[in-house]
Structure 1
Amino acid sequence: MKKVYLLLAEGFETIEALAPVDVLRRCGIEVVTLSVGDSKRVVSSQNIPVEADKLLSSEDYLDGDMLILPGGSPGYENLGKSSKVIELSKEYLNSSEKFLGAICAAPSVLENAGLLKGKKIICHYGVKDLIKDGILGNEKVILDGNLVTASGAGLGIDFGLKLAEVLVGPEKVEEVKKKMTII
């Protein structure tokens, strides 16, 4: 079974985190949510408390197939303040066997860490000016090598579907889309 780690920092965007969790689990993928803070209880930017499965500080989490960074404000800023988030992002992005997903403003965290050089990405319009090394595209969801990016909250399900597709293939995703009445 494929394993995904999804990071939750105070102020994360609810849909950008939980829609992918829902889609990935429907596809039979194990998803473990990790709190970046000191408590498993993490509050979203919409003031919705969520209980993470584990604390990021408790293990190294290098055994996953994918790492996901949701956006949201100030969630993406809180992700960027964590050296462990940056270290883990580098490990996943620099591996030929792993994937990294970032949505909304989260690609700016990767930019600040120097991880977007030559990568085609999309991000929220509010942080586009922060992208210097990444190549901005116009698509709603972009796959470039092992990096999947999406532009914002309205694409939480589309982002989740693309993440699932790279892990379990288009056939399984089509089956799940049908059950979700997306097609």
Structure 2
Amino acid sequence: MELRRELAVKAFRHTCAYDGAISVISTKPFSRTVSRSALGHRGPNHHLRYGENPHQKAALYRLHGAHRSGIADTHQVQGKPLSFNNIADTDAALQCAGAFEECACVIVKHANPCGAALASTPLDAYEKAYRTDPTSAFGGIIALNPPLDGETASAIIERQLVDVIVAPKLDDDARSVSKRSRTYAP
């Protein structure tokens, strides 16, 4: 019963912070942009290439009190700016891969996992995840929970078009190889 109470308090605090941000924004005159202070923003403001659709503007904010690590806690090493859809898919892939202690690879396309695998090495995990649905993996987002090595990075970019590769770290070989890829965010 105590665990239920603790979880309920945690949920209420989270929704209270969300409602507070909406309240602050609602009391200000309508604007096409949202100030950092209105959202309780901390960290850099990431302007996205576009919103859910190409004619929309978008930005990524990290709110005060946000404890979960996700895409807002990463930085882009190279490539063109990400879109809203890239961010949403990358965060989904990152959260899914991060849920495992074992070496994991997850491929996401249009908010749907189209490949996921556990293996003893990043390369084996990627190859198993890719074989799940190679057609849907084309142009997708790849997340690994171990560091990305050069061998795995080479296999990825030689095999498929990929919009984003996200991993906790990348070694020097992976950094060199990733320059041939479109986008990489550790």
State the TM-score, normalized to the length of structure 2: 0.28
Q: Which has the higher contact order (CA 8 A, sep 6+)?
A: 1
What TM-score, normalized to structure 1?
0.29
Could you say which structure has the larger radius of gyration? 2
